Chain A
Amino acid sequence: MVAPHVDVSNDEHAELLACRSLVTLRINGRETKLTIAPWTTLLDLLREHLDLTGTKKGCDNGQCGACTVLVDGTRINACLTLAVTKDGSEVTTIEGLSAGDQLHPVQKAFIERDAFQCGYCTPGQICSIVGLLREGRAKTTRDVRELMSGNICRCGAYANIVAAIEDVLTEASHTPDGEREP
Chain B
Amino acid sequence: MKPFAYSRETGLDHALARGKEDGVRYLAGGTTLIDLMRLGVEEPSTVVDLRALPLRDIKADGDGVQIGALATNTEVAYHPLIAKAYPVLSEALLSGASPQLRNMASVGGNLLQRTRCSYFRDPSSPCNKRMAGSGCPALDGYNRSNAILGVSSSCIATHPSDMAVALLALDAVVHVRGGGGERAVPMGDFHVAPGSTPAVETALQKGEIITHVTVPASPFAQRSHYVKVRDRASYAFALSSAAVALDVSGGVVKSARVVLGGVATKPWRATEAEAELVGKPPTSMSFDAAGAAAVRGAVPRTHNAFKVELAKRTVARALRDLVGKA
Q: Which residues of A contact B (CB under 8 A)?
A: 12-13, 16-17, 19, 21, 37-39, 41, 60-62, 65, 68, 74-77, 80-82, 84-85, 87, 128, 131-132, 135, 137, 146-151
Q: Contacting chain A: which of B92-100, B183-191, B218-226, B241-249?
A: B92-100
Task: Find the B residue at minimum CB distance from A81.
Answer: B30
Cβ B38 vs Cβ A149 within 8 A = no
In the assembled complex, how far is the CB of residue A12 from the closest CB belonging to chain B, in whole angstroms?
A: 7
Among A38, A61, A81, A137, the residue within 8 A (CB) of B47 is A38
Cβ B104 vs Cβ A150 within 8 A = no
Among A19, A61, A74, A137, the residue within 8 A (CB) of B3 is A19
Cβ B5 vs Cβ A16 within 8 A = yes
User: Which A residues are CB-close (under 8 A) to B235?
Assistant: 149-150
The CA-CA distance from A8 to B49 in the complex, in Å, is 29
Cβ B234 vs Cβ A146 within 8 A = yes
The CA-CA distance from A104 to B239 in the complex, in Å, is 40
Q: Does B306 contact A (CB under 8 A)?
A: no
The CA-CA distance from A25 to B8 in the complex, in Å, is 16
Cβ A80 vs Cβ B99 within 8 A = no
Q: Could you tell me which residues of chain B, from 12 to 27, have a CB within 8 Å of some CB in chain A?
A: 27
Among B4, B34, B104, the residue within 8 A (CB) of A41 is B34
Given contact pairs A13-B3, A60-B38, A137-B78, A150 touches B99 in the complex (Cβ within 8 A)? yes
Cβ A75 vs Cβ B99 within 8 A = yes
The CA-CA distance from A148 to B233 in the complex, in Å, is 12
Number of interface residues of B (CB under 8 A): 29
Q: List 15 A-B contacts (CB under 8 A).
A: A16-B4, A39-B37, A62-B100, A65-B98, A65-B100, A75-B99, A76-B100, A82-B27, A131-B103, A137-B78, A149-B234, A149-B235, A150-B97, A150-B99, A150-B101
Among A16, A60, A80, A87, the residue within 8 A (CB) of B31 is A80
Cβ B101 vs Cβ A62 within 8 A = yes
Cβ B104 vs Cβ A81 within 8 A = yes
Cβ B30 vs Cβ A82 within 8 A = yes
User: Which B residues are CB-close (under 8 A) to A85?
Assistant: 8, 27, 30, 49, 51
In the assembled complex, how far is the CB of residue A45 from the closest CB belonging to chain B, in whole angstroms?
A: 13
Cβ A74 vs Cβ B103 within 8 A = yes
Q: Does B182 contact A (CB under 8 A)?
A: no
Q: Does B1 contact A (CB under 8 A)?
A: yes
In the assembled complex, how far is the CB of residue B161 from the closest CB belonging to chain A, in whole angstroms?
A: 16
The CA-CA distance from A68 to B234 in the complex, in Å, is 18
The CA-CA distance from A17 to B2 in the complex, in Å, is 9
Interface centre among B3, B30, B233 (most CB of A within 10 A): B3
Task: Find the B residue at minimum CB distance from A152.
Answer: B235
User: Which A residues are CB-close (under 8 A) to B4?
Assistant: 16, 19, 38-39
In the assembled complex, how far is the CB of residue A14 from the closest CB belonging to chain B, in whole angstroms?
A: 9
Q: Does B10 contact A (CB under 8 A)?
A: no
Task: Find the B residue at minimum CB distance from A86.
Answer: B51
Given contact pairs A61-B35, A80-B30, A85-B51, A19 touches B6 in the complex (Cβ within 8 A)? yes
User: Which B residues are CB-close (under 8 A) to A38?
Assistant: 3-6, 47
